[in-house]
């Protein structure tokens, strides 16, 4: 049989090139991939989440305003649900607490806990005008989600319409207005239609006066934020109340929303990793899969295990720390395993392969 050596060499070359591309992605394609990932994460996860947060802020302000104008049990129920709806979007944003939400102090101004009851009682007993403008001068623990949570739900979650004072109505309305204004502020700092928006910084690193020197620096920021929220959930939000056996250290105790909060924090990690908040888009997993499929599989598995183990806690968190501490310790271990993988393996990968 006569061998066609030219054909043989052509096939061999194709196979060699194909193998090389499997292990070493084409630099041009890799550059395009990184650009797409950053564009999808910033537009379809970050901006989309903040846009929904803004919409839920408007709804919350409307519900609280209606309730204050005409207090009814049904109105109070609607306010509580509106609080939970906005709270969900905020917790889904905690996987990317960088940029304006950090340097403008939006995070501490709307999500500091626990409530300082001594200061709160003094405020309500005073004659100081409580309105949305006056909220700026208050300490962090007196504005944002948690004082409004306390106002709407009460200490045991069973506050009734008749328990509200005129001063509390005033305070509730100011808190809801403040939350709406802060949600609008963070959205507009990312809005591509606004000059100097942070979306531009994420997608155009390395330019003159840019926040980020390179795409690599952006990826490092993104991954560090994921590490940070995993650490906060496992070693702050869960750890402190659990170790101290103190329900007063719980993040959202009055609404019984803490487990939902923690779960949404991890879903924010999931959304960034898969780029999936508003439809299916490119996330970090596309970059990881291009270089290390086993790492991608492990991160996916650890994310699933962490979220499922949290959702398996069916009682309020304040009760769980007393009744099922070992189960909560396992949840912590799951989240810390994810955190360690993100920190020790994903972070070096983007440092190595980011442009």
What average pLDDT does this structure show over 108-113? 95
Residue-wise pLDDT for 264-303, tens only, equals 999 999 999 999 998 889 999 999 999 999 999 999 999 9
What average pLDDT does this structure show over 238-250? 95
Q: Which residues contact 129 (CB under 8 A, 6 or more apart)?
A: none
The Cβ-side half-sphere exposure at 149, using a 13 Å CA radius, reads 26
> At residue 12, does pLDDT exceed 50?
no
Q: Which residues contact 334 (CB under 8 A, 6 or more apart)?
A: 302, 305, 306, 309
Q: Place 2 in a pLDDT band, splitting at 50, 70 and 90.
A: very low
Q: Mean pLDDT in the chain?
A: 92
What average pLDDT does this structure show over 302-306? 98
pLDDT > 70 fraction of the chain, expressed in percent and rounded: 92
**Tell me, what's the pLDDT at 90?**
98
Residue-wise pLDDT for 276-285, tens only, equals 998 889 999 9
What average pLDDT does this structure show over 148-169? 97
What average pLDDT does this structure show over 148-158? 96
What average pLDDT does this structure show over 25-52? 88
Question: Whole-angstrom Cα distance, residue 321 to residue 327?
Answer: 9
Give 27-198+211-353's CATH code, choosing from 3.30.910.10, 1.20.1420.20, 3.40.50.300, 3.30.70.260.
1.20.1420.20
Of residues 234, 316, 336, 281, the one with CA closest to residue 44: 281
> At residue 221, does pLDDT exceed 70?
yes
Question: Whole-angstrom Cα distance, residue 338 to residue 13?
Answer: 41
Residue-wise pLDDT for 336-350, tens only, equals 999 999 999 999 999
Question: Whole-angstrom Cα distance, residue 281 to residue 303?
Answer: 18
Residue-range domain boundaries for the chain: 27-198+211-353
Q: Render 245-274 in DSSP notation, one character per residue.
A: T-GGG-SSTTTT-HHHHHHHHHHHHHHHHH
The Cβ-side half-sphere exposure at 273, using a 13 Å CA radius, reads 25
> At residue 1, does pLDDT exceed 50?
no
**Tell me, what's the pLDDT at 279?**
85
Question: Whole-angstrom Cα distance, residue 64 to residue 228?
Answer: 33
């Amino acid at each position: 049989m006569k061998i066609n050596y030219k054909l043989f060499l052509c096939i061999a070359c194709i196979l060699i090139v194909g193998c090389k591309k499997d292990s070493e992605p084409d630099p041009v394609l890799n550059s395009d991939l990184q650009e797409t990932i950053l564009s999808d994460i910033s537009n379809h996860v970050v901006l989309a989440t903040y846009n929904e947060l803004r919409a839920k802020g408007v709804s919350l302000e409307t519900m609280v305003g209606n309730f204050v104008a005409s207090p009814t049990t049904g109105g109070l129920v609607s306010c509580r649900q509106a609080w939970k709806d906005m709270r969900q979007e905020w917790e889904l944003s905690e996987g990317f607490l960088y940029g304006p939400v950090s340097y403008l102090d939006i995070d501490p101004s709307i999500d500091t806990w626990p409530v300082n009851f001594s200061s709160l009682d003094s405020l309500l007993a005073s004659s100081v005008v409580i309105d949305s403008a006056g909220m700026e001068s208050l300490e962090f623990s007196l504005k944002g989600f948690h004082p409004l949570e306390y106002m709407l739900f009460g200490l045991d979650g069973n506050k009734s319409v008749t328990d509200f004072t005129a001063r509390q109505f005033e305070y509730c309305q100011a808190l809801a207005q403040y939350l709406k204004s802060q949600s609008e502020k963070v959205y507009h700092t990312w809005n591509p239609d606004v000059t100097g928006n942070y979306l531009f910084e994420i997608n155009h690193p390395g330019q003159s006066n840019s926040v980020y020197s390179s795409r690599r620096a952006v990826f490092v920021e993104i991954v560090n934020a994921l590490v940070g929220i995993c650490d906060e959930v496992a070693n702050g939000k869960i750890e402190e109340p659990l170790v101290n056996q103190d329900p007063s250290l719980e993040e959202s105790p009055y609404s019984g929303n803490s487990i939902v909060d923690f779960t949404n924090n991890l879903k924010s990690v999931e959304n960034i990793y898969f780029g999936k908040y508003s439809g299916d888009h490119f996330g970090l997993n596309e970059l990881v899969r291009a270089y290390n499929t086993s790492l991608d599989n492990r991160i996916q598995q650890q994310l699933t295990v962490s979220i499922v183990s949290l959702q398996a806690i069916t009682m309020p968190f304040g009760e769980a720390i007393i009744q099922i501490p070992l189960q909560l310790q396992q949840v912590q271990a799951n989240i810390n395993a994810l955190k360690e993988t993100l920190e020790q393996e994903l972070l070096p990968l983007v440092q190595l392969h980011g442009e």
